[in-house]
Amino acid sequence: MSTREHSGEAAYKVLARELRQAILQRRYVDGTRLPTEAELADEYEVSRQTVRRAFHDLVAEGMVYRVPGRGTFAAPRDGQYLRQFGSIEDLMGLSLDTQLEVLRPLRRKVDIDAASRLRLDSDVVHTVVFRRTHEGDSFCHTTVHLHPAAAAALGDVPELGEAGAVSDATIIGLLDTRLPVPIAEAEQSITAASADQTLADALGCGIGDPLLRVDRIYLTTDQQPVELAINHFLPEQYSYRVKLRRSTH
């Protein structure tokens, strides 16, 4: 043994979690520098390499950014918005000026495919279907499948329980405040599909019309999937824009 006892969990993971919590508790806001590698190594009685390992993960999560010669800083998080990694453009301003109208309220349901994409052991998910409107125009149809724990966290939201209810919330925004662990990232897949009867009715387009399909799986900081959202957008009223940059190193 090399001076260090193995109490089950890796030292760099413990350190990463402590730093993550401190940042989420807003202890390093507005440009405050985090402790240096040497300081943390000293404080936690680990090597500087172990501190670096922890920071490496936090950088990958987007929790902090580092500048050679200056230090390590908490990445400011503006509310419940997610942005594309490495870009400056907003992902989408969905909740800003749009409304949500429930088509089928939140109910327990058996869906093998959705359950497996949420990495559940059982086949049971909780599902809610709604459409999103902007100034009266429907432009997006969404089916949301929830992890049981996530569904429990949303059980007392009246706007999701009855068909026809209207709200200006987002599921992900509700989840982020009600779950004990914050949402850290999402895996997004974009493809094209054609409108079936249900989608055509909800969106007011023709059957067979092309739609933009955007699937998103939201994950908490401990990589647990909690929500699978399947969106169908009308291409005339929505396109997904990103700015790509050349990486600096």
What residue 81 binds from its own copies, DNA, none (CB within 5 to 8 A, per partner kind)? its own copies
* Selected binder of its own copies within 133, 188, 198, 224 (CB under 8 A): 188
* Planar angle of CA 113, 117, 118, nearest 5 degrees: 115
**226 φ, ψ to 5°?**
-120, -25
* Selected binder of its own copies within 151, 183, 228, 229 (CB under 8 A): 183
The span from the CA of 233 to the CA of 193, in Å, is 10
Q: Does 48 bind DNA (CB under 7 A)?
A: yes
Shortest distance, position 245 Cβ to DNA, whole Å: 17
With contact defined as beta carbons under 8 Å apart, do 103 and 199 qualify?
no
Residue range at the interface with its own copies (CB under 8 A); choices 101-109, 135-143, 159-167, 207-215: 207-215
Total number of residues that touch its own copies (CB under 8 A): 56
Please say which residue, 53 or 109, places its beta carbon nearer to its own copies.
53
With tokens 């052991």, the residue in question is 121
Kindly give the pairing relationship between strand 124-134 and strand 71-74.
unpaired
Helix/strand/coil (H, E, C) string of 152-218?
HHCCCCHHHHCCCCEECCCHHHHHHHHCCCCEEEEEEEEEEEECCHHHHHHHCCCCCCEEEEEEEEE
Taking CA atoms, 96 is separated from 72, 74, 161, 173, in Å, by 32, 25, 22, 12
What residue 233 binds from DNA, its own copies, none (CB within 5 to 8 A, per partner kind)? its own copies
Strand, coil or helix: 132 = strand
Residue 87 tokens read as 């870009």
Shortest distance, position 5 Cβ to DNA, whole Å: 9
Q: Does 47 bind its own copies (CB under 8 A)?
A: no
Shortest distance, position 163 Cβ to its own copies, whole Å: 28
Stretch 70-109: interaction string toward DNA, x if CB under 7 A: xxx-------------------------------------
Instruction: Kindly state the DSSP code that residue 36 receives in the 8-state scheme.
Output: P
Q: Does 243 bind DNA (CB under 7 A)?
A: no
* Selected binder of its own copies within 148, 182, 198, 201 (CB under 8 A): 182
* Contact residues for its own copies, defined by CB under 8 A: 10, 13, 56, 60-63, 65, 75-78, 81-89, 91, 182-194, 208-213, 216, 233, 235, 238-249
* Contact residues for DNA, defined by CB under 7 A: 1-4, 6, 10-13, 34, 36-38, 45-50, 52-53, 55, 66-72, 249
